[in-house]
Structure 1
């Protein structure tokens, strides 16, 4: 069947299209770890092919959430093999390290799942405290797939909060972090998006400004301590404005999906999983 199912909190959370914004938030958060962002900068093709990398990452997450057990294990084994061959150099110390070090994998995992969950809740998804803890506990399976010992990974909201408290002294803005954040905020327009005139319009026109708004909301959704590291404000009013923007985006996406033909309202992976569960 797969790692999760229709009764899981994971399916309830990941049904939300607004999680695309949660994924962007997680990238800003992950970039604050000096070694994690160095590993990405020195091994990833995100600068030369950012949209391709984003698509591959989205496909992996979708497979873990909705794929069959065989599909999940195949995708995870590929990721583990890929990571096992990669190393990077810490720009602060010159030390060479493997990018599949547990400390780095743990940071990426926690930043991702916490971003998904917090974005969904702040957008208006109703979850009880038990469901919140249930989501983190369910996601320990995803952590194990990349090679982590589940017993070393935060599995409740309280454990995630304590983990962030412990990690903050190790985090900060490096050159890689600043360049990554700028790249996430002003990404290049894909070359296959039509003519030069169209690309210029996307670069300078309403679409670009709309994306600035999305990226700005993603940054505003960061914890106050993370926003301060980026030079932003930690004021509660920032949280309030981000929540209002996020809820507006969720309503817009819901209306947009409702107006589309039914076959386009669910992602193909989710639709296949619903078919297997007999829920279509």
Structure 2
């Protein structure tokens, strides 16, 4: 394999895991544990999260979350997204994949770790009605917003660019477990409930100079030159799946070549899949754990 391709593969791995060569220790630890976890390989969550559409979903979720002034204030005041954007991305991926592929103990532990980080994230913001309010990352409404934004992003991105058909209701119901682990009260359990929950935030969302700056950063993050063209396609794909009102608030427009996006994105995601491997390392670790557990059950093939 030529050196340019190897370098591109290394940059891809670094972007998604924070490590260009070796696997992070947390990935290997997913093989540990004494149960199959919250999601089996036959689950809809496993199907969605093992697809490359999660790349589009990650960008979409960041854009949507920026519209909530409380959530944005927490990122603006406490996150190092400008100095270490890949580190923040790697941390988010670690939690999502641990909940998806880890044992129940690993999923609970990862969620408690994130919740502990939230304890110090406090400050003040101006809400969508122009009222000054205090915020805390542990606030139930902010936790609910983040869960809804992630769920909507994963589901919408897969529906637009995924290679197979899934039950949207099953996905929302299954991923509600992640909301409960993050102490979200009564997370949506169907696609209709998800859409209704998202609509309730319409009056809370706002656009301002901070949103514009975050959008500009997400549009052009400091990626390696070899990844910039592909990222433009991913960004356009994420924007395409947003609701028109959310695009307006973000100051974004559909691509002029929107009719080419679906086939183009699927080709690009297929190339990334080939570069990273048909089965990701987190999924491989989970499958090894499940195989080990099945081997300990008498009479199990």
* TM-score, normalised by the number of residues in structure 2: 0.77
Please tell me whether residue 22 in structure 1 is matched to residue 25 in structure 2.
no
Pick aligned residue for 2:178 from 142, 155, 168: 142
Deviation at 1:41, TM superposition (A): 0.8
SS in 1 for 2:184: coil
Partner of 1:46: 81
Please tell me whether residue 221 in structure 1 is matched to residue 255 in structure 2.
no
Contact map agreement 1:124 1:247 (CA 8 A) in 2: no
Please tell me whether residue 109 in structure 1 is matched to residue 109 in structure 2.
no
String of CA shifts for 1:250-275, please: whole Å, max 9, x gaps: 233325534x5xx9322211001122
Structure 2: distance between partners of 1:243 and 1:167: 30
Structure 1: distance between partners of 2:105 and 2:214: 34
Deviation at 1:243, TM superposition (A): 6.7
Partner of 1:212: 232
Contact map agreement 1:221 1:242 (CA 8 A) in 2: no
Structure 2: distance between partners of 1:40 and 1:246: 31
Structure 1: distance between partners of 2:80 and 2:248: 28
Distance 1:119 1:226, change over 3 A: same
Pick aligned residue for 2:290 from 273, 277, 280: 277
Which has the higher mean CA deviation after the structures are superposed, 268-277 or 21-30? 268-277
Deviation at 1:65, TM superposition (A): 0.4
Structure 2: distance between partners of 1:52 and 1:155: 31
Structure 2: distance between partners of 1:47 and 1:240: 29
String of CA shifts for 1:9-68, please: whole Å, max 9, x gaps: 101111211211111111101111111111111111111110111111111111110011
Count residues in correspondence: 254
Contact map agreement 2:50 2:280 (CA 8 A) in 1: no
Please tell me whether residue 133 in structure 1 is matched to residue 159 in structure 2.
no
Please tell me whether residue 120 in structure 1 is matched to residue 120 in structure 2.
no
Structure 1: distance between partners of 2:258 and 2:197: 24
Structure 2: distance between partners of 1:218 and 1:14: 16
Structure 2: distance between partners of 1:212 and 1:62: 25
Deviation at 1:97, TM superposition (A): 1.9
Contact map agreement 2:53 2:161 (CA 8 A) in 1: yes
Partner of 2:278: 265
Structure 2: distance between partners of 1:218 and 1:76: 26
Partner of 1:192: none
Distance 1:224 1:268, change over 3 A: same
Distance 1:126 1:241, change over 3 A: farther
